Amino acid sequence: MTGPVLVTGGAGFIGVSLADRLAREGHDVVVYDALLRPGVAENLDWLRRRHGTRIASVTADIRDRAALQHALRDVGAVFHLAAQVAVTTSLSDPAEDFGINLHATFTLLDLLRRRPGGPCPLVFASTNKVYGDLGDIPLELRNGAWLPRDPALRDAGIAEDRPLDFHTPYGCSKGAADQYVLDFARSYGLPATVLRMSCVYGPRQMGTEDQGWVAHFLIRALRGEPVTLYGDGCQVRDVLHVDDAVAAWLGAWRRIGAAAGRAFNLGGGPANAVSLLQVLHAIGDLTGPRVAVTHGAVRAGDQRWFVADTRRARTVLGLAEPQPWRVGLRQLAEWLRTERGLAAAAPRVMEALP
């Protein structure tokens, strides 16, 4: 590879972790980020303190074609994470969601195919939301968790041959961008691949009600504040530590010859499948008092169960088994205590977990 690595959304949670890993491995990194979300400017400052001149930055909107074209000029690879990331925001402002997630991704692809000297490898952050709400899968409730009745599906998870079914403007914008990336690989020979990510968590995650629920739950618990569950809390996700997610991104780049033109489901897999309630119970064990909860209505497009079948990703991208979720949760709690100064406090008296 010649030229630095460009990470769009590089000051966000996954982006900053990826940029840090790249710089530690000796790569020059260009962080492209609008720096609009809370905490991302501090992430960029942290990268600069750790890596000095290895980190360059472009403060610009991903929809700025001229800025993006200039940033792409000399890079040797692109990791595209810049996005509007919340289903709720997509419902309130679908035009903004479309512009950031779909139109800007199309612009990036078009600039890459027209780039003097030819395109470079591209790894794109897609989402498990491309599969819709999975409402056709028969589920049963076991120990506070929704699980498929089909034991084969329960043991393996959702594979990449699952039909796409976009729900909500967010699912449409990310899903359409996902398909554009794969088609540009097919139609124009771009060395591009797609990672359809489940729930990633870990240090440097801001954690809000709309995005980053594992960190959000921990932050609320450490502050002694209640958590709102939308639905019954028995929804299941396969949570993946950010270090394992970064390893997958690097694997996709390093094995781009095998990965180009293909999509990979990326999550913690069946071994890290856990319900929201189960995570809250584990957080209570870490923080002391049990976490208080309130309940809200089920959100649009929410999946009662999603677990990624990661066999294709592990084989093609050369991935190790992911970190167990309880180990990663403990690590995140310690990071929040030491780096964010959060200490456990007694919650207000509200409905307790069952």
- At 328, list the tokens: 């990663």
Tokens encoding 56: 């360059």
Distances (CA, A) of 67 to 60, 112, 192: 7, 14, 21
C-alpha closest to that of 194 among 202, 204, 184: 184
Helix-strand-coil split of the chain, %, nearest 5:
45, 20, 35
Answer yes or no: are the C-beta atoms of 71 and 32 closer than 8 Å: yes
Residue 136 burial by CB count (10 A; 0-12/13-18/19+): exposed, middle or buried? exposed
How many whole angstroms separate alpha carbon 17 and alpha carbon 247? 10
At residue 169's C-alpha, the angle toward residues 130 and 72, to 5°, is: 75
Question: Concatenated DSSP letters for 247-265?
Answer: HHHHHHHHTHHHHTT-EEE
Check 32, 131, 170, 180 and give the catalytic one: 170
How far is the C-alpha of 62 from the C-alpha of 59, rounded, in Å? 9
3-state secondary structure of 75: coil
Which run of H or of E encompasses 229? strand 227-230
Clarify whether 170 is annotated catalytic.
yes
Position of tokens 């967010």?
Answer: 170
Q: Rounded to whole angstroms, what are the CA distances from 21 to 27, 82, 163, 267, 350?
A: 9, 18, 34, 19, 42
Q: Which two tokens stand for residue 315?
A: 């084989």
d(CA 297, CA 125): 28
Active centre residues (catalytic) = 170
